């Protein structure tokens, strides 16, 4: 190779490369370059400049390759096919990453643990439950790897004192027991692994059966004899009838440390609170997506009704996926953050009526009523997923207890939350295996 090169000679070299973007381009003028020994410069300097030029070429070639240009073919034409272009394939692999230290910054504002509330009473405590459960105790938002959660999340499954209308995919699990609340309770505990049972005394509603409170209380007794898990006792939602119903139910469940659901600002919460304190139960403080109302009710339960702090659980209301879940999440998260930062009117465990997910039409309708809408997919999958997503979202907001219905939803939610909690080995839940029998 000649030690000297003229600019005019570059025209023929570029022509041989057949670079489309240089078609028709010529270099005018003529300067003779002495390329021997780096153009007369110091050999070490020439080598260094050559190295830098080669590195730049590699980077440019890799950029062209990412943009889809056949760089390898181009260089093969210039240098000859073979191993000469191997160096252009990629940067040398990094053998070892730089050592780095990661420290978790703890929030100095989270200095107040959530109040612990125990539900259920064993024989040692004067009850007949096989075990108790404890809610609360957190010192941070849930599932932080550096913040201990002293108590895991729990699920209480719904049982009703009469057959009710349900989504087909839910009803198919309970058709054989819907006429017997005690057997229904046994099924959710023995077959579906419910941590607790919620018995809803909906037949007491004057607009349904208007079942007398004393008669409804017998159903509570039957459920207590059928299962040995802690229970939640709910009325019908009628603000005039519920205080009387919960009083009678609390009386027959004396000593069992049940959760009375619920006290609210739109009914006589003082009667419900008194029933709880007289017979040794806890109170579910229910408000409707309003943090100030929650503070007000909690304050009245504590200061006006003398309910102990360890006997209050909050239900700030659950709005389902697609029907205000984002607002429910924000509300619960605000409550939990305020509690951790010392608000003693919000510093209580939370419960979610996750069953509300079944009120969303997308969870139970066979298909969209709109012809132009996309395919919703099989409701046998869609319904449980709706309940799971609703519950899991609120678990991340700090919720401690979930009221649920579908067995598959319960199984998936428990597996995910207990994996995050550290109870079980992490794995990916396969919802299709759990629902196959229903499809």
pLDDT digits (tens, 9 = 90+) for 305-322: 999 999 999 999 998 777
Is residue 66 pLDDT above 80, yes or no? no
**Domain positions in the chain:** 114-421
Confidence of residue 324 (pLDDT cuts 50, 70, 90): confident
Is residue 61 pLDDT above 60, yes or no? yes
Q: Which of 101-110, 168-177, 193-202, 376-385 has the highest mean predicted lDDT (pLDDT)?
A: 193-202
Is residue 283 pLDDT above 60, yes or no? yes
Mean model confidence pLDDT for the chain? 84
Is residue 80 pLDDT above 70, yes or no? no
Please compute the mean of the pLDDT values over residues 198-220 and round it to a whole number. Answer: 97
Secondary structure of the chain in the HEC alphabet? CCCEEEHHHHHHHHHHHCCHHHCCCCCCCCCEEECCCCCCCCHHHHHHHHHHHHHHHHHHHHHHHHCCCCHHHHHHHHHCCCHHHHHHCCCCCCCCCCCCCCCCCCCCCCCCCCCCEEECCCHHHCCCCCCCEEECCCCCCCCCCCCCCCCCCEEEEEEECCCCCCCHHHHCCCCCCCCCHHHHHHHHHHCCCCCEEEEECHHHCCCCCCCCHHHHHHHHHHHHHHCCCCEEEECCCCCCCHHHHHHHHHHHCCCCCCEEEEECCCCCHHHHHHHHHHHCCEEEEECCCCHHHHHHHHHHHHHHCCCCHHHEEEECCCCCCCCCHHHHHHHHHHHHHHHHCCCCCCCCCEEECHHHHHHCHHHHCCCCCCCCCCCCCCHHHHHHHHHHHHHHHHHHHCCCEEEECCHHHHHHHHHHHHHHHCCCCCCCCCHHHHHHHHC
Identify the pLDDT of residue 436.
Answer: 47
Is residue 287 pLDDT above 60, yes or no? yes
Which CATH superfamily hosts domain 114-421? Dihydropteroate synthase-like (3.20.20.20)
pLDDT digits (tens, 9 = 90+) for 100-118: 777 777 778 899 999 999 9
Please compute the mean of the pLDDT values over residues 360-384 and round it to a whole number. Answer: 75
Q: Which of 73-77, 78-82, 141-145, 416-420 has the highest mean predicted lDDT (pLDDT)?
A: 416-420
């Amino acid at each position: 190779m000649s030690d000297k090169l003229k600019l005019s000679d570059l025209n023929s070299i570029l022509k041989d490369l057949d670079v489309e973007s240089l078609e028709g381009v010529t270099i005018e003028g003529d300067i003779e370059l002495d390329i021997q020994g780096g153009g007369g410069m110091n050999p070490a300097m020439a080598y260094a400049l050559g190295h830098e030029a080669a590195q730049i070429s590699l980077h440019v070639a890799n950029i062209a390759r990412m943009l889809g240009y056949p760089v390898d073919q181009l260089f093969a034409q210039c240098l000859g096919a073979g191993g000469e272009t191997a160096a252009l394939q990629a940067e040398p692999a990094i053998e070892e990453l730089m050592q780095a230290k990661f420290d978790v910054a703890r929030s100095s504002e989270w200095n107040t643990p959530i109040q612990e509330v125990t539900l259920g009473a064993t024989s040692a405590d004067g009850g007949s439950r096989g075990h108790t459960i404890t809610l609360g105790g957190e010192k941070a938002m849930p599932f932080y790897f550096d913040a201990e959660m002293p108590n895991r999340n729990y699920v209480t499954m719904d049982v009703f004192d009469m057959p009710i209308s349900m989504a087909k995919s839910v009803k198919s699990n309970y058709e054989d027991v819907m006429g017997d609340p005690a057997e229904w309770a046994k099924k959710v505990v023995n077959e579906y692994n419910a941590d607790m049972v919620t018995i809803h005394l909906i037949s007491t509603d004057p607009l349904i059966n208007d079942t007398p409170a004393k008669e409804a209380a017998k159903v509570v007794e039957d459920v207590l004899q059928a299962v040995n898990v802690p229970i939640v006792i709910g009325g019908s939602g009628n603000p005039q009838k519920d205080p009387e119903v919960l009083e009678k139910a609390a009386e027959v469940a004396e000593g069992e440390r049940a959760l009375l659901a619920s006290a609210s600002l739109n009914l006589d919460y003082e009667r419900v609170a008194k029933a709880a304190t007289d017979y040794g139960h806890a109170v579910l403080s229910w408000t409707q997506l309003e943090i100030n109302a929650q503070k007000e009710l909690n304050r009245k339960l504590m200061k006006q009704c003398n309910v102990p702090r360890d006997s209050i659980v909050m239900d700030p209301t659950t709005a389902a996926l697609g029907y205000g879940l984002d607002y429910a999440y924000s509300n619960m998260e605000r409550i939990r953050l305020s509690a951790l930062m010392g608000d003693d009117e919000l510093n209580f465990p939370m419960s979610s009526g996750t069953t509300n997910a079944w009120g969303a039409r997308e969870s139970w309708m066979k298909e969209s009523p709109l012809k132009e809408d996309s395919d919703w997919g099989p409701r046998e999958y869609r319904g449980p997923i709706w309940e799971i997503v609703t519950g899991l979202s609120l678990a991340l907001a700090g919720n401690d207890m979930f009221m649920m219905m579908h067995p598959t939803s319960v199984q998936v939610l428990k597996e995910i939350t207990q994996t995050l909690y550290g109870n079980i080995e992490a794995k990916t839940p396969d919802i299709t295996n759990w629902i196959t029998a229903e499809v």
